[in-house]
């Protein structure tokens, strides 16, 4: 059996691309590799070296990393050469999803031909990683095998929330006009798929309500459950993420510029660790602020989590569910987040984590946890139980395999 895996999100270094998109991608690859041979088609930046020798080297890296035979195929993304005008930015994308920045990159003739070349290898099924990977499938006239579609973010929700975030300019509200065509594109992709995967029951109910979609399964984000360690006593906060993602940049700046100074008024020795790739994208990265440490990429998460008392996730936009919260819960760390940050996660406010949506309540919650070891321990212990119950990686991999086998009539 052969599965064609399609994605617009290429992990240029498979060993350090660890943020949410790639973690979820990896869960599906681990599930599929045990039931099928995998061909992978990636739509990549036009300047990426895709010579034969490089592809062979990448194939070896991917095959070793996932312990599976993987065949790699690359196609440059479509880049429009026209000058960006007001119509290109606001008008055309409102009428057609294929004109929207996140999706036109996989909508060209070259991208369709790359897909059709892979279809000649006769895959028994296709796995489309995110909506951008569904675009060439929706455009081709070729007969397709069963398509499994991972809609990890409900894109029209993510886009709506992102437009509402700063910076704000005079014509920015025109971007809201793109939502109807984005929504229609999602519906078309869902209808094409034999099965659509989402991150949570929250997302599943939303799609069932607004587009009457029935072929939807919940595949939660999941993590390995680490060994339990004693909770740190030092007053240290952690935010972990990749800072190419704007919601993570805004969250880090919110913690650094607004939360930490208020915490220092009560707990002068408090520290904030900002961990993850591309911290230089944070505006205050070079300001040498007291109590703030930027670590960059962290390979040893056990040591990182052992050194912190509280995990913060002040997320105000985005979609899907946050790996960072599930991961912190697996380490039995108390989490302070927002309603959007905790959206779709099966954890209860006040019992498994704390949800705070404004500056004062978020600060108060952080101070309370830094001052109260027993409450930290209680929240973290309860959250870890939920992580084991709902988000243990091996159980989720089995769920993916069962769902795919059922739709392909494999015993």
Mean predicted confidence (pLDDT) in 358-368? 98
pLDDT score for 213: 81
- Split at pLDDT 50, 70, 90, the class of 79 is confident
Residue with tokens 């935010």, as numbered in its chain = 239
pLDDT 10s digits, 336-355: 999 999 999 999 999 999 99
Q: How buried is 404 (Cβ within 10 angstroms: 0-12 exposed, 13-18 middle, 19+ buried)?
A: buried
- Split at pLDDT 50, 70, 90, the class of 34 is very high
The yes-or-no verdict on residue 263 having pLDDT over 80 is yes
Order of strands across the sheet that contains 292-296: 292-296, 271-275, 236-240, 310-313, 335-337, 354-355
pLDDT 10s digits, 293-325: 999 999 999 999 999 999 999 999 998 899 999
pLDDT score for 214: 84
pLDDT score for 10: 96
More confident position, 386 or 84: 386
Least confident of 12-21, 46-55, 199-208: 12-21
- Split at pLDDT 50, 70, 90, the class of 409 is confident
pLDDT score for 411: 73
- Split at pLDDT 50, 70, 90, the class of 216 is very high
Phi then psi dihedrals of residue 340, to 5 deg: -70, -40
Structure-token pair, residue 180: 């109807």
With contact defined as beta carbons under 8 Å apart, do 294 and 281 qualify? Answer: no
Domain ranges of the chain: 2-221+393-408, 236-390
pLDDT score for 269: 97
More confident position, 170 or 127: 127
- Split at pLDDT 50, 70, 90, the class of 19 is confident
The yes-or-no verdict on residue 72 having pLDDT over 80 is yes
- Split at pLDDT 50, 70, 90, the class of 2 is very high
CATH code of 236-390, in short, is 3.40.50.2000
Structure-token pair, residue 371: 């001052």
DSSP characters over 303-318: HHHHT-SEEEE---S-
- Split at pLDDT 50, 70, 90, the class of 363 is very high
pLDDT score for 94: 96
pLDDT score for 7: 98
The yes-or-no verdict on residue 97 having pLDDT over 90 is yes
SS3 call for 16: coil
The yes-or-no verdict on residue 58 having pLDDT over 80 is yes
Q: In the predicted model, what is the mean pLDDT of the chain?
A: 95
CA distance linking residue 166 with residue 173, whole number of Å: 12
Q: Tell me, rounded to whole angstroms, the distance of Cα 302 from its chain centroid.
A: 21
With contact defined as beta carbons under 8 Å apart, do 63 and 108 qualify? Answer: no
pLDDT over 70 for what percent of the chain? Answer: 100
Q: Say which CATH superfamily domain 2-221+393-408 falls into.
A: Glycogen Phosphorylase B; (3.40.50.2000)
236-390 and 2-221+393-408 share a CATH fold: yes
pLDDT 10s digits, 121-158: 999 999 999 999 999 999 999 999 999 999 999 999 99
Q: What angle do CA 59, 63, 67 make, to 5 degrees?
A: 180
């Amino acid at each position: 059996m052969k599965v064609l895996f399609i994605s617009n999100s290429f992990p240029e270094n498979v060993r350090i691309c660890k943020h949410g998109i790639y973690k979820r991608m990896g869960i599906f690859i681990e599930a599929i590799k045990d039931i099928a041979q995998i061909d992978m088609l990636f739509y990549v930046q036009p300047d990426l070296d895709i010579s034969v020798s490089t592809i062979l080297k990448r194939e070896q890296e991917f095959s070793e990393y996932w312990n599976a035979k993987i065949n790699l195929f690359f196609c440059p993304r479509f880049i429009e050469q026209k000058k960006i005008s007001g119509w290109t930015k606001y008008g055309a994308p409102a009428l057609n999803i294929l004109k929207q920045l996140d999706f036109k990159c996989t909508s060209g003739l070259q991208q369709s031909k790359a897909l059709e070349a892979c279809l000649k290898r006769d895959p028994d099924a296709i796995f489309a990683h995110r909506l951008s990977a569904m675009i060439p499938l929706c455009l081709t006239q070729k007969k397709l095998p069963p398509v499994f579609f991972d809609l990890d973010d409900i894109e029209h929700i993510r886009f709506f929330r992102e437009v509402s975030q700063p910076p704000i300019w005079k014509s920015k509200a025109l971007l809201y006009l793109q939502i109807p065509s984005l929504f229609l594109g999602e519906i078309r992709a869902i209808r094409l798929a034999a099965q659509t995967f989402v991150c949570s029951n929250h997302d599943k109910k939303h799609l069932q309500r607004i587009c009457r979609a029935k072929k939807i399964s919940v595949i939660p984000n999941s993590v390995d459950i680490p060994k339990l360690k004693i909770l740190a006593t030092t007053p240290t906060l952690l935010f972990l993420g990749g800072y190419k993602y704007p919601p993570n940049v805004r969250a880090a700046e919110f913690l650094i510029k607004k939360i930490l100074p208020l915490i220092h008024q009560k707990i002068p020795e408090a520290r904030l660790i900002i961990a993850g790739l591309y911290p230089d994208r944070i505006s205050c990265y070079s300001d040498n602020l007291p109590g703030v440490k930027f670590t960059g990429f962290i390979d040893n998460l056990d040591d990182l989590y052992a050194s912190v008392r509280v995990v913060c996730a002040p997320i105000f936009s985005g979609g899907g569910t946050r790996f960072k919260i599930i991961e912190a819960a697996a380490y039995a760390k108390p989490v302070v987040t927002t309603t959007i940050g905790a959206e779709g996660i099966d954890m209860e406010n006040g019992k498994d984590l704390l949800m705070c949506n404004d500056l004062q309540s978020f600060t108060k919650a952080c101070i309370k946890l830094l001052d109260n070891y027993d409450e930290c321990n209680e929240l973290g212990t309860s959250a870890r139980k939920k992580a084991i119950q709902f988000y243990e990686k091996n159980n989720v991999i089995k769920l993916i395999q069962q769902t795919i086998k059922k739709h392909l009539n494999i015993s």
